[in-house]
Amino acid sequence: MKLYHGSPELFSAFDLSKAGEGTGVKFGFGVYITESEVSAVHYSQPRNMEQMAPNHYLYTVEIPNLTPINHLVSALPVNNEIVRKVQAKLGVEVPTKVLQQGKEFRKWVGMTLLGTNKSTFAEEKAAAELLNSLGVLYNVWPQTQTKPDGLKNIAVFDAANVKIVKVEQIEVELKCKKYVLVSKKEV
């Protein structure tokens, strides 16, 4: 499975101490990767920068294969084995209303762990750490909500599960509110 990550920073390993700085944690805490090179190129420019970043990099990465019990899908019901593991670890029954969508389940896990009623960065991080400890490595969502079987985006809960196989310095330009690839060369 060929996956990509775009960044204005050059590095040799992912560091989750910087998680949330580029695009936040809307889809969970972790390393954000995608099957779409076009999306990775676009996200090499941080949303919070008003000026164009001086450098852009495209990372080609590998992760362990997706299996039915090692990931959540944001808009789909949660696998029963994952539910069983979480209930056993937390010692509480998961409410039926959060079982229909992986994103609601993930948020519930974090809020339950921290005893809060709102999912913020801390709750997302807590949920990712617990889920990862139970063998649930990823949160997955479709790149385009209208094409659920199309290209996927993935939040990898533990940076150790992302192997960088190639790094390219890329040149991008803004076209129609999207950063697009102009050129690339391997670093």
Q: Say whether both 37 and 57 belong to one domain.
A: yes
Q: Say whether both 148 and 61 belong to one domain.
A: yes
Q: Say whether both 35 and 126 belong to one domain.
A: no
Q: Say whether both 123 and 150 belong to one domain.
A: no
pLDDT averages per 10-residue partition of the chain, 187 residues: 92 87 75 94 82 92 96 96 98 97 97 96 96 97 73 95 97 89 93
β-strand 71-73 against 178-186: which pairing, if any?
A: unpaired
Amino acid residing at 123 = E
| Predicted local distance difference test score (pLDDT) of residue 57 | 97
Q: Say whether both 79 and 134 belong to one domain.
A: yes
Q: Say whether both 150 and 124 belong to one domain.
A: no
Q: Say whether both 136 and 87 belong to one domain.
A: yes
Q: Determine the structural domain holding residue 31 and report its residue range.
A: 3-65+141-186
Q: Say whether both 84 and 136 belong to one domain.
A: yes
Q: Say whether both 136 and 75 belong to one domain.
A: yes
Q: Say whether both 41 and 128 belong to one domain.
A: no
CA distances from 17 to 5, 35, 102 (A): 16, 24, 24
Q: What is the largest CA-CA distance in the chain?
A: 53
The whole model's pTM is what? Answer: 0.92
133's tokens: 């400890």
| Predicted local distance difference test score (pLDDT) of residue 113 | 97
| Predicted local distance difference test score (pLDDT) of residue 148 | 62
CB 141 within 8 A of CB 26: no
List, in sequence order, the alpha helices (H) in 29-176: 37-42, 80-90, 102-114, 121-133
Q: Say whether both 54 and 84 belong to one domain.
A: no
The domain total for the chain is: 2
CA distances from 40 to 18, 34, 59, 87, 162 (A): 17, 7, 8, 35, 15
Taking the mean position of all CA atoms in its chain, how far away is CA 51?
25
Cα separation, 123 vs 88, in Å, equals 19
| Predicted local distance difference test score (pLDDT) of residue 145 | 63
Q: Say whether both 90 and 133 belong to one domain.
A: yes
